[in-house]
Amino acid sequence: MAAAQCALGHEVHIVSYAGPDSRDRAFRAAANIPDFEKIRWHLLPDPDRLERIACIKGSRLINRILPSADFIHLHGVWESLLFRSASAARKAGVPYCVRPAGMLDSWSLQQKAWKKRLALSLGYRGMLEDAKFIQALNADEAQLMRPLSLATPTIVIPNGVFPEEFEQGSDAVSFRKQINMPNDRRFVLFLSRLHFKKGLDLLAKAFQMVSAECPDVDLVVAGPDDGAREEFLALVRTLGIEERVWLTGPIYGAAKLQAFSATACFCLPSRQEGFSLAITEALACSVPVVISDACHFPEVDSAQAGIVTSLAPAAIAKALVAVLKNGPMANKMGENGRRLVMENFTWPVIAGKTINSYRSFA
């Protein structure tokens, strides 16, 4: 979003905590983004416990940058850096908005619920209600925030992709060589961080059923570990499918596009999503997708770009088998998905919507 706003002629600063690993990972992932080099970065080391609570370094940085800002876009909710930024913005008379990215829907609020209720009562509700608007990533997210009864206006502006990243086809053979997968094997691709909410356990159970129906199909799991890797591997061993499952670790840039180009189907059975860029990228690569209804991407169903299913492993397996066993249908889904993204979910269009929203509420 920042790069696309820069391309429209705006000066965009990003303030964040980012240790060397996360910083390098983010910059590798963004290497091919147009106008990425125009963004102005202000990165602090990963916070220790004191900094997470008191936000001393973060507050100093915000107070130094804030006076030159016309508008502040807060990405997330439950971080002291965001809270302090909102407080400083109110004090300086600088308007701001909040993009919760799914953090305020009912599922998310149930995780560590007492901490979030306490945070809301201690000022985070005020942070949200003093915002000029809240950016929901889709209509489902806007609906799921309603139980909070916030007075703040909600605007739906999704995430997107840069069309330039997907104009040239990728070499599907290269990805297979990287992971030493034989050319006669097809595979289902999961690409996201390895976290409980992403539904890896559900996918493992579903793939056990798929493996029996489709003996030529494997499962490739790509992404950084976020606490669920060992539990997933243990479940895979229990289910007896370890020889059919490939873990690659995180992949970025060209390798990621090669993985999308090589896969027969992308699957993300998340328990909760705000707006998944991985789904959007898969669609942009003309890949049929099988996703959960908790991904809140109903356009996949309406555009016939894949199958939206419940979180039941049997339902996920049925959807995967349907795609894997019907090549013409899968190809048509891929075509529909690419058209859906290129017509509705590109960063230049989305950047324009955010800038117009800033102006409307400033």
Whether the Cβ atoms of residue 148 and residue 121 lie closer than 8 Å to each other: no
Q: Tell the CATH topology of 163-344.
A: Rossmann fold (3.40.50)
Q: How many residues does the chain have?
A: 362
pLDDT value, residue 26: 79
Average pLDDT over residues 262-274: 94
- pLDDT tens-digit series, residues 153-210: 999 999 998 888 887 666 778 888 889 998 889 999 999 999 999 999 999 999 999 9
Phi, psi at residue 184, to the nearest 5°?
-85, 5
Which residue matches tokens 């117009």?
356
Q: Tell the CATH topology of 2-160+346-361.
A: Rossmann fold (3.40.50)
pTM: 0.81
- Give the residue extent of every domain in the chain: 2-160+346-361, 163-344
Neighbours of 173 (CB within 10 A): 12
Question: Where is average pLDDT lowest: 6-15, 35-44, 119-128, 251-260?
Answer: 251-260
Nearest one of 198, 264, 190 to 221, comparing CA atoms: 190
Between CA 269 and CA 18 the distance in angstroms is: 28
2-160+346-361 against 163-344: fold identical: yes
86: pLDDT strictly greater than 90: yes
